[in-house]
Amino acid sequence: MDQTRFENANKLWAAGRNEDAAREFHAMAEEADYPDEKAGILTNEHKCYLQIGQLDKAGEVMRQIRSLPVQDSFVRMIIDIGDAFMTSQMGKLKEGIRKFETILALNQEELRNPEQRHLYEQIQQRRGITLTDLCRYTEALPILKEAVSFTSDKFDPQLVHFYLGVCYQNTSNPQLAKEAFLRAIDFGLNNDFEANARYRLAILYFINRAFAQAKYHLEAALRMPEQALGVQLRKNIYQQMSRTCHYLGEIEEEQKYSKLAQAS
């Protein structure tokens, strides 16, 4: 394999030029002499398509990889990890969990190797998030608590703290949920996870009758960029604002947000 060419393809990927990187990886794989080498390069093409959500193309690449007679156990593990991530990203959550758990069971020694720690951390982060999406909060909680300490360059601390907050919120730990949501907000990324964290945090304050604090976070969410607020989340925020303003005695504001919710 041409190492310089491989590094340049990785630079394209790191720069966000995923499709250019995918094409380069594919061309390199076509020139590879051995199945293990070919499969290893194709996993990088697969990764590029996953990152930009082109799941059809990712699926095509995975089918090509699976058709190869791969011998190396490490390459097989990398393939399995990519397949599990794709399965989860496609919304096949239960199947994705099964695949992640199989990888952990079959590759314990490899994943204990400090050089492969980043792979273990990626698996655990995605497992915790997927279990949360499946509403299996009790199972997700210890995994996400472990994930808070991760250091891999693929670790997303805002994402982990947000999902940790969701787990605490749904296992009757409101104070820990607040702390986790506040940590997610502190990253200041102005994205959908911050907006959702503020909405969930506002509900927790509302339940405790801390109406002014609830309103503060709802207003902060509404000031965020348009792309951070989906249609349903915006409607939910309007509805919660209306209820909050009612308890604050702000009748005009209550009616205003009630109308906005109905129009959403």
DSSP percent split of the chain into helix, strand, coil, nearest 5 = 80, 0, 20
In a domain, 66, yes or no: no
In a domain, 101, yes or no: no
CA-to-CA separations, 219 to 79, 200, 213, 242, 257, in angstroms, rounded:
45, 13, 10, 12, 11
**pLDDT bucket at 264, cuts 50 / 70 / 90:** confident
pLDDT for 46: 97
CA-to-CA separations, 214 to 14, 17, 107, 201, 235, in angstroms, rounded:
39, 41, 46, 7, 16
pLDDT tens string 35-44: 999 999 999 9
Q: Which of 76, 84, 116 is nearest to 100 (CA)?
A: 84
What would the mean pLDDT of 58-80 be, rounded to a whole number?
97
In a domain, 190, yes or no: yes
* pTM to 2 decimal places: 0.91
pLDDT tens string 103-123: 999 999 999 999 999 999 999
Report yes or no: 241 and 253 within 8 Å, Cβ to Cβ.
yes
In a domain, 48, yes or no: no
pLDDT for 93: 98
pLDDT tens string 166-219: 999 999 999 999 999 999 999 999 999 999 999 999 999 999 999 999 999 999
Domain range enclosing 259: 173-264
In a domain, 146, yes or no: no
Residue written as token pair 């020694």: 109
DSSP 65: H
In a domain, 259, yes or no: yes
Q: 80 exposed, middle or buried (CB, 10 Å; 0-12, 13-18, 19+)?
A: middle
Q: Which of 3-7, 11-15, 90-94, 252-256 has the lowest mean pLDDT?
A: 3-7
The whole-angstrom distance between residue 135's C-alpha and the CA centroid of its chain comes to: 15
What would the two tokens of residue 199 be? 């909405």
Report yes or no: 71 and 42 within 8 Å, Cβ to Cβ.
no
Counting every residue, how long is the chain? Answer: 264
pLDDT tens string 136-173: 999 999 999 999 999 888 789 999 999 999 999 999 99
pLDDT for 225: 93
In a domain, 82, yes or no: no
What would the mean pLDDT of 220-229 be, rounded to a whole number?
94
Q: 262 exposed, middle or buried (CB, 10 Å; 0-12, 13-18, 19+)?
A: exposed
**Distance in angstroms (rounded) separating the CA atoms of residues 191 and 217:** 14
**Distance in angstroms (rounded) separating the CA atoms of residues 45 and 65:** 10
In a domain, 114, yes or no: no
Count Cβ atoms below 10 Å from residue 31 Cβ, excluding itself: 12
**Distance in angstroms (rounded) separating the CA atoms of residues 213 and 201:** 9
Higher pLDDT, 6 or 26: 26
Q: For the chain, how many structural domains are there in total? A: 1
CATH number of the domain that 259 lies in? 1.25.40.10
